[in-house]
Structure 1
């Protein structure tokens, strides 16, 4: 078991036997700095073991996942973080094996947070496939947040207000979207979603030109406010 202090209020420990990384403490996860020459994040303490991480657990008290925190963790398959409020830019960028994400209190998903997570098929309050609860806290999905998530087949965010540019670009397996309180969809949000057959939003939703370009759906099904 490897343990360390991330900063004064956040701790982490890694179990090398089952590949579980646990983040605990209170407050925000600190930012990491990208090395301009290598492109890596040298001040990230689990960078040397990033390819050994299979499961991430973020305990209650930690309210955010910092930008690029799990950038290209190629063997990460599950992320369990029900009490995280904010997932920042590129947090899980190109985690190609990531299949399931459990978030319950999430409010915002940052730019490219799950970009090119090609195996991601489920984002929900809990990992059980039989669970019926929806994510009700999420209000904003930023630019390219789920771009290239080729295995994601459905999205239900009941209180989502805005979807950023290219947020679901090239989500080729995405069949249905239900965001009935949505107020805006930016350009190219669902571009090249070749399997999309249903997108339910309210009548007041402002849809940018090209939001559904090159997708299987020319325009969403609208509900009356």
Structure 2
């Protein structure tokens, strides 16, 4: 039945029907208004509110870090990391994950680096990229590295000389890149390398001369790279190198002159790099080199004048480099060079004036370098040159004034350098198992004491005693020259 029929029959009054139609129209209008309002809000949030929210996200707790919220520039420095520079000099890195690696001048805030005075790194950052803050030397105050960081890239903070206070490496860090804190000379206090770190790469703390207090290297470290702590001259206290370390790089502790106490090289180390402890004059007490070491490279302990006690070079060593123990004047006792050594470098033991007793050079040595034992005044007794030696360098034994008796120069020797035995006052005879002119340059400094006599073997293999007349002029029985004084018997040789 239609509404009209119902009205005609009196079922619905006309006024009631009209009222319901009006109500339905009002409800429809209200619903349309609500839908429109919702759409407007969505559009507003998308177009206007989102940027404000993002801006808030990239500057958390702005009042905590900065006195001004005006942004100079902003951008990405990782897949999920945002950098923001504020007018007051604050550089803030926020977000999570790894930072991008950069080259020398490619970081996005490079053009602003002279305006950056404060650095805030947000918790959630997992790595600090290569060269990220290189030469940002206007940044001052403490550096706080978030606990979330696991790696610090090469030269990440190099030349940030304005940092002050202590430096804390978080426990989660496993690697410290080459030059990471190079020339950060403002850091003070002690330095502790956390247990999680396994490698410290070259020059990581080079020239951090402001560090005072102790240096603690954790048990997890297996290698100490070249120049890692070079010129960190203000470290104090003893140095403990953990047993986990297997290699010590080139000049790793060069001029760490404030370190004191004994020096023990761990058993796992097989090589000690060139200049590894060069100029560490503060060490006192003994030096322990483990049996596993096969090479001690040049200048490894040069100038470690405070080391004392007997020097024991392990049998595993096969070469001793130039200037290895140069100027280690505090070492005492006899010196025994292991049988496996085949060469003794230039100035290897020069100015080790505290060494006393006999000097034993093993049969395997084929060359003795220039100045190798220069000014080792404490050596006494007879010097024996092994049969396999072919060359004796210039001034090799110069000023070894307490060496005594005669020296035998083996037949294999083909060269003796100028002044090799200069001022060796205790040497009375030099017995040479070769004919005259086979070795040039005699009398190799022996003329200075007016006592030594050189004994040559003539072509018939009969040795003769020859008197030194003047520098470079020696009597010998060959080519019609002067008659020898005395024929030397086999027992005299």
Output the TM-score relative to the length of structure 2: 0.38
Are 2:200 and 1:144 equivalent residues in the alignment?
no
**Cα displacement string for residues 65-97 of structure 1 (whole angstroms, at most 9, x for unaligned residues):** 111111111122322113211111111111111
For residues 1-225 of structure 1, what are the structure 2 equivalents within 5 Å? 1=69, 2=71, 3-17=74-88, 19-34=89-104, 41=105, 43-77=106-140, 78-81=142-145, 82-99=147-164, 100-104=166-170, 105-122=172-189, 135-153=194-212, 154-159=214-219, 160-176=221-237, 177-183=239-245, 184-198=247-261, 203-206=266-269, 208-209=272-273, 210-216=275-281, 217=283
CA offset digits 1:155-207 (Å, max 9, x no partner): 22323222101111111112244443441322310011121214776732415
How many residue pairs end up in the alignment? 207
Indicate conservation of the 8 Å contact 2:191/2:215, yes or no: no
CA RMSD of aligned residues (A): 2.8
Question: 2: distance between equivalents of 1:115 and 1:199?
Answer: 27
Q: Bigger CA drift: 164-173 or 72-81?
A: 72-81
Question: Does structure 1 conserve the Cα–Cα contact (< 8 Å) formed by 2:81 and 2:93?
Answer: yes
Instruction: Check conservation: 1:89, 1:110, Cα contact below 8 A.
Output: yes
CA–CA distance in structure 2, aligned partners of residues 123 and 79 of structure 1: 14
Note the C-alpha offset of 1:4: 2.9
Instruction: Tell me if structure 1 keeps the 8 A contact 2:78–2:98.
Output: no
**Contact 1:182–1:201, Cα closer than 8 Å, also in 2:** no
* Cα 1:10–1:200 shift into 2, 3 Å: farther
TM-aligned CA distance change 1:74 to 1:208, over 3 Å? same
| Greater than 4 Å deviation, 4+ residue runs | 122-125, 198-202, 218-222
Q: 1:220 to 1:190 in 2, by over 3 A?
A: farther
Q: Any conservation in 2 of the 1:141–1:163 contact (CA below 8 Å)? A: yes
Instruction: Work out the CA distance in 1 between the residues paired with 2:232 and 2:167.
Output: 16
**Residues 90 and 140 (structure 1), Cα distance of their counterparts in 2 relative to 1, 3 Å cut:** same
Change (3 A) 1:83 1:181: farther
- Range that drifts further, 22-31 or 162-171: 22-31
- Contact 2:79 / 2:98 at 8 angstroms: preserved in 1? no
Q: Is contact 1:181–1:201 with CA below 8 Å preserved after alignment?
A: no
User: Structure 1 stretches of 5 or more lacking a match?
Assistant: 35-40, 126-133
Gaps of at least 5 residues in structure 2 are 1-68, 290-493
| Bigger helix share | 2
Q: Retained in 2: the 8 A contact 1:108–1:139?
A: yes
TM-score (norm 1): 0.78
Deviation string, structure 1 residues 5-24 (Cα, Å, up to 9, x no partner): 3243111223443x432212
**Aligned equivalents of 1:191 and 1:124: distance in 2?**
17
